[in-house]
Each structure stands twice: as structure tokens, then as C-alpha cells.
Amino acid sequence: MNFEDKLLPIISEIKSPLFLGARVELKLGESDKWEEQKTLINSYGHFVSGFLHNADNTIFGSIVKIDTVDEKNNIILGTVVGRVSVEEVGADSDIVKFAKVMDKPYDEYDINDLHSAISYTNNQVEKLRNINEGNHRFGSATNVDMKDIHGWIDKLAPLFRKGAEKIFLASAAMERLQYVSTALNMELEYQRFAKEFHEKVEESIQENQKEYFLREQLKIINDELYGSENEIEEYDEKIEALVAPEVVRERLDKELRKLANTQPSTPESYVIRNYLDTVLALPWNKVSKENTSLSYARKVLDEDHYGIEKVKERILEFLAVRRLAPDKKGNIICFVGPPGVGKTSIVRSIAKALGREYIRTSLGGMHDEAEIRGHRKTYIGSMIGRIISCIKTVGTMNPVFLLDEIDKLSSDYKGDPASALLEVLDPEQNKAFQDNYLELPFDLSKVLFITTANNKQGISAPLLDRMEIIEMSGYTIEEKTEIAIRHLLLKQLKEHGIKPNRIVLSAAVLEDIICGYTQEAGVRKLEHCIASICRKVAFGFTATKQPVKVLETADVEKYLGLPKYRKDDLRKEARAGVATGLAWTEFGGTTLEIECAIMSGKGELLLTGNLGDVMKESARIALSLVRSLAPKYNIDKERFETTSVHIHAPEGAVPKDGPSAGIALTTAILSAYSGKLIRCDVAVTGEVTLTGRVLPIGGVKEKMLGALQAGITRVILPVQNKKDALELPDTIKNKVEAVFVSDIEEAFRELFV
């Protein structure tokens, strides 16, 4: 069909060239004139689209024959019937623009002049077919119609990735064949590389490793084509945006240059990437806004913890100083006390009161210095130390950082972590803490470090010198009861899915649980007992649908079994050779029976009950002191030569040590030799010397609590500990009488019947 000098409607949505025989699917935009456009375009049966300009600004386009119109979806389906040059003319309608077809599609040609070019092009197509066996992409284009060379070229052109525009704009057959040959050469190079690429991938993977196959493809693409430029650019942008000290930025730039010159698949590149990711993830300039309100801090501490007024007061003093002098390098706080007294939870409350992030790490059993300082990044599997790792996790430079169980640190051939902690905790050093992995100074001066320990004797002297010790002693029965009512019961009800007030535990029931099933300074076992009751009651709720369970004293044994501890476990009558001492352990205070027996022998001293060296020395001192006092108490000195003394501390599996059993040991030995009876309702603690002087001891509150728990009503203390006794809560002073002595004979008068 001849279109020369005809007017055809224009549809300009298609921007790419359209070749003879191509199928066109065109979706028109939404318009209120769609019906008019459809009618007008349909009336012509053809339209012109796919416009391109050549160097002479001649406009070329393709004529598309309309096959069908999908009115529902506004889609026109058509077939390209030829290429023409056109001239845009004024429209006879304001709905559609028109183009005037100017001349024939392509120039005439002499087939004899094109034989060599056609043959060369055909050979190139055959090569493509051989490279891509089984791929018939170019198969349909190999049948050359000598009468329609332009049609053959139009079939080839859409198959190329580049060069289609030049082929479309050219009018001479030879020129078009030259462009086709160029495009075919490019396609051949591409297909050869693609084949080599797939061969490399196939050599490096197993048949069933699909995921690995995809990764290998990506790796080879990066290696062969693109390298790692995108990755380098991303790292460079992150470094540019990082707000950090200049030494950090310089080091990152240096590592990035190394990465750019390293093959992406080498182990060294992975080390560098991990290092860059780690350093970039650290919060070099991020700090939490601090709350300095003391009233809010007091409110938080009171809500979260009952009692421990002195501890709260000291914390508020600490916060007040920080408010007045934010940059002051204060001491590191160390909470020391038995398990379950709230050391860890009060640190969490401090973080809440300050509005800072909270992070915790346990030091118990740590024996490798690298866990604090990190590993050199040259080692396989190297990583940052635990301190920097926690800072990275919390995402801020000024968290409240709890170092739990600092007294449980150990050391071996791998180093001494306690020494490594000196740099972390010392305010003079931690401004430029050096992690072995980072090899960069990191400022820890904004971090509020708080430590906890059960026993300060387990803390190394240099560390202890850098910390301020705040003692957290055990709770009285009344305090434990109040804590259970305010906190523990509500917490366990929530954890077990029981609504508040569905389980009622009276103060009397809680006291029975405390005295009969727990023997601790804290409230951890008490919480376990309450949890056990909640589990059993929850089971009862599901079985009986009982709305509320009120526990009476008689119900305690039903849920918890027989009591583990009874006050009547102690002796009920005065006896000779048996004294009741008091001991302080990491778990609180407790009573300690000292038994002494005299037997025929040669003046030997036998010690059993797993006694430590200091306690053994106390026993020898006690025996020597009794021998020196023998005449005063009518003891024949010859008996010491013909008898042996056996001292035993029951519960032999439990290690016992310390000098505070001196009075009890001396009293038991003297009682065994003299036959004097020792009172059963009196306990004693205190160190003695060879001359009979009584020296002060530690852990007064814990020991008094242990005596109260055991049913002791009177405790003998060294006179130097009077100040400690005066600070005891009234609940202890009202139930346990404290008697103060300065020498051993004063103690004898209080202990003997």
C-alpha cells in the first residue's frame, strides 16, 4: 500500500524505533476524549509512531496498521508495515496531531552490489547460532530474501542490544548492512564473553548448589565487569558522613584505599570489610540526653526498691555531684553484697533515673585478657573486646555500664583481665582506651561504669583502689515481707498470667515462707517460692475455675512441702563444750556451731569440719589462751599433757575460715575442760588474741540477721563494733539484744550459765 503524501494520525508515546513486522501494543493515557480519539484513529486504520531524527533533522517514523482496539483497557494492538519520513502538519482536529508521509521507506538497491555484504552478515549470524546452541534467537533471520533486503535487515535489527537507531535512520541498503555488521560484531563479543562466563561458573559449582551458583555469578560479574567500585563508593560516603576524631577518619581512609587495591575474593578483603563495618557502626558522636532531676531519681529508686535508704542516699549524692560538675571524673561505684539484695536491679534503676541507656556484661569466670581488650585483627576470627562490643550494641557513648561479678575474675596464661580493666575504669586512662582490634583511641570517659561483687576480698587491690565500695547488706524479715507484697508477688502474677488480687498472700504467710523455706540475705529464693505457689495455684484455677485463692498459713506446706529450716534445729539446752558462733558468707549471715571434745592423748589438737588456715590458727590461739587461764578456772595443767582436744564445726562439706570464731572456740575449749555449761540462746562473734583481748569483726548486720533467723535472742559483739550495731534497723535491735565485750573473760560471764 502506498502512503506517500497521505496524512496519518500521530501517536508519540513510543520513543524507540519500530521495524517492519513488529507487533505493537500501546496503552493510551486516561482521557475524557478517548472515545473521540479512538473513532478518529480507527477511521484511518493506521497511525505513525516511533519517531527519530537523523543528522539532517529529517523525521523518520513507522506506520502501524491497527489490528484491534481493546476499548475496556484503552489498548491499541497493531503491526508495523513500514518506515517512512514524515512531516508534522497542522491538525484538522484538536484531538489528534497528524503527519504527512513524504517519500518511500528506503532507497532502491542493486542486488549485485550487495552480495559480499550479505554473505558476510549471514556468516556472522551463523557464528552467533553456533555460540548459542539451542538458542534460536537469530534462526528466523538467516533466510535471506534477495528481493527484500530491507525487510531482512528489519528482522535482524530488533535483536541487537545497541545500534538499532542507526539501522532505522539509514536509507541506503549498503549503509544499513554496515550498521548491522557492526551490531553483530558487538553481539558476538558479548555472546563469547557470556559463554566464557557461564563456563567459569559451571566449573566452580555443583549441579544442585543453586544458591552457590547465584553467588558465583555475582562474584564473577564483579570481578570481570564492575569490580568493587559501588562498594568503595558506599564506604567512602559513609566515611564522609561520619562525625568522628580525625585520627579515626584517617585510619578509615587508609583501610579503604587498601580495600580498593585488594581482590574482592581474597581473605584480606574480608578482614578489611569487617574492620570498616565495625568502626563505622560505633557511636562516635551519639550521646543520650541526661536527666538531672534529683526528685525524679528519688521517685524511681523508691518505686523500684524498698528500704536500703543509705544506698539510695549515697546514689543521690553521687547524682547531685554529677549535676553540679558534669565533667568531674568521679569514682567508680561498686555495690558489694550477697546475692538477691538488688545490686543489679538498682543499677538498672540508676540508668532509668538518668535517662541513659543500660547495658550489662558479666565478668564471672572471665580469664582471657582479650575478652576485655579484643583480639588483633590479624588473627582468624578476631573481634572487638566485650567493652567496645557493648558500646556498639547500645549505640551511645554515655550508657550506664554494669560490670557484674567483678570479684569472679580469674587469670591464666592468656593474661589478667583484671589488669586490662584498669584502663577501662581508671578516669585518667579511659579517655583514650585502646582496643586491640580497633587500634584506635576510644573515649570511655562519658560512660558511667558501675560494678557489683559478692565479696570485696575477691577484687584485686589496684581495681579496688579505683572504686568506691557501697555495701548492700541483707534484708530483715519485715523488709523481705514488704518487698514480696510490693514487687515480687505482682511480678510473678504477671509472669504466670494471673490477674492481680487473684492470689492473696498475707504478711503472716510470707513470714512463714521466709523463715521456713529461705535462708538468705536477699529475696531470690523467696521469689522462687512465690513462683512455685503461682504455678500450682494457676493449675488449680484451670481445674476448678476458683476465682480467688487466699493462702493461709496451713496451706504453705501443701504448696511448698515441709519447711527446710526450723528455729528448733538449734540446741534447746545448755551444754558443755558446745558454743554457738556467727559466720558471714557471700550469701549472708548464719550460725556456726563449735563442738569441742576432750579425750586421752598427748596434748594434740585435732581440727575437723573443713576449716581454713586462719580458723585453724584461731583454734591454736584459743587453746593456748585456755591453758594460760587454767589456774583461774581450777583446771589442772597436767590435763593438757595427758589429753587431746578435738574441735569440730558441723556441715563439713562447707568451707569455713576467718578469725571471728575466736571467742566461740575459746569458750568451747574452756567449757569442755571445766565442765561449765554454755547458754543455748546466746551467740558470739569476735577475734581473740593470746592475751584475751577481743578484736572487731565485719559483717555485723548480716550476722545479726543470721542470729535472728535462727531464733537467737542475744548476741555478744566486740565493743569496737558498737557503732555498727547502732546503725542496725530497729526491727533487729528490738528482737536481738547486743552485748559488747572488750576481753574474753567478759564474754565468759555472758556465755556461761
Per-residue pLDDT tens digits for 255-306 = 888 888 777 777 788 888 888 888 898 998 888 888 878 888 888 888 888 8
CA dihedral for 191, 196, 197, 201, sign (positive or negative) = positive
- Quick one: cell of 544? 476448678
* DSSP run (H or E) holding 334: strand 332-336
* 515-547 burial: b if 16+ Cβ within 10 Å, else e: bbbbbbbbbbbbbbbbebbbeebbeebeeeeee
Q: What is the CATH number of domain 477-560?
A: 1.10.8.60
Q: Provide the total of helices (H) and of strands (E) in the chain, helices listed first.
A: 28, 24
Q: Which three cell numbers stand for residue 715?
A: 548476741
Q: How far apart are CA 365 and CA 548, in angstroms?
A: 45
Scanning the structure block, which residue is given the C-alpha cell 509512531? 49
d(CA 389, CA 412): 23
Given the C-alpha cell 567500585, which residue does it identify? 229
Which of these, 649, 651, 681, lies nearest to 668 by C-alpha position?
A: 649
Tabulate helix, strand, coil % of the chain (nearest 5). Answer: 45, 20, 35
Helical H segments across 305-376, by residue range: 309-324, 343-354, 370-373
CA dihedral 118, 119, 122, 124 (to 10 degrees): -110
Half-sphere exposure of 40 (CA within 13 A, CB side): 18
* Angstrom distance (rounded) from CA 403 to CA 361: 5
CA triple 323-342-425, angle to 5 deg: 50
CA distance from start to end of the chain: 137
DSSP per-residue string spanning 487-542 = IIHHHHHHHTT--TTSEEE-HHHHHHHHHHH---SSSHHHHHHHHHHHHHHHHHHH
Strands 467-471 and 332-336: parallel
Residues in the chain: 753
Structural contact between residues 12 and 64, judged by C-beta atoms closer than 8 angstroms = no
| Cα dihedral value 718, 720, 721, 725, nearest 10 | 110
Half-sphere exposure of 613 (CA within 13 A, CB side): 0
**CB 311, CB 350: distance < 8 Å:** no
Residues 533 and 512: beta-carbon distance below 8 Å: no
C-alpha grid cell for residue 503? 492470689
In whole angstroms, what is the distance from residue 337 CA to residue 343 CA? 7
pLDDT at residue number 125? 77
Give pLDDT, residue 226. Answer: 45
- Nearest Cα neighbor of 382 from 494, 473, 274 is 274
Q: Over the Cα atoms of the chain, what is R_g?
A: 46
Q: What is the rounded CA–CA span in Å between residue 218 and residue 224?
A: 10
Sequence-separated (6 or more) residues with CB below 8 Å from residue 411:
367, 417, 418
Query: Where exactly does CATH 2.30.130.40 map onto the chain?
Result: 7-101
Q: Does domain 567-751 have CATH number 3.40.50.300?
A: no
**pLDDT tens, residue by residue, 415-466:** 678 888 888 888 888 888 888 888 888 888 888 899 999 888 888 888 888 8
DSSP code for 224: I
Quote the DSSP letter at residue 290: P
Count CA atoms closer than 13 A to 176's CA, side-chain side: 26
Closest CA to 151 of 211, 81, 93, 49: 81
d(CA 540, CA 88): 90
| Residues 721 and 687: beta-carbon distance below 8 Å | no
d(CA 608, CA 647): 6
Q: Which of 85, 288, 660, 671 is catalytic?
A: 660
Q: Which amino acid is at 112?
A: N
The ranges of the chain with pLDDT < 50 are: 226
Per-residue DSSP letter, 14: -
> For 294-471, CATH number?
3.40.50.300
Bridge partners, 75 (sequence order) = 27, 70
Residues of each domain in the chain carrying CATH 1.10.8.60: 477-560
CATH 3.40.50.300 domain range(s) in the chain: 294-471
Residue from 356, 432, 383, 403 nearest 281 by CA: 383
Cell of 259: 580495600
Cell numbers that stand for 601 in this block = 592423748
pLDDT of residue 705: 85
Largest CA distance in the chain: 148
Q: Which residues contact 399 (CB under 8 A, 6 or more apart)?
A: 288, 351, 356, 357, 358, 359, 390, 391, 447, 448
Q: What is the grid cell recorded at 293? A: 532531676
* Cell 582506651 -> residue: 433
CA distance linking residue 403 with residue 334, whole number of Å: 9
703 counts as catalytic: yes
In the prediction, which pLDDT does 622 show?
93
What beta strand segments (E) does 90-227 contain? Answer: 98-101
Among the listed residues 139, 153, 13, 180, the one whose alpha carbon sits nearest the alpha carbon of residue 83: 153
Answer yes or no: are the C-beta atoms of 352 and 396 closer than 8 Å. Answer: no
Directed axis angle between helix 149-156 and helix 115-131, to 10°?
Answer: 30
In CATH terms, 7-101 corresponds, of 2.30.130.40, 2.60.40.420, 3.10.20.30, 3.40.50.460, to 2.30.130.40
pLDDT of residue 11: 78
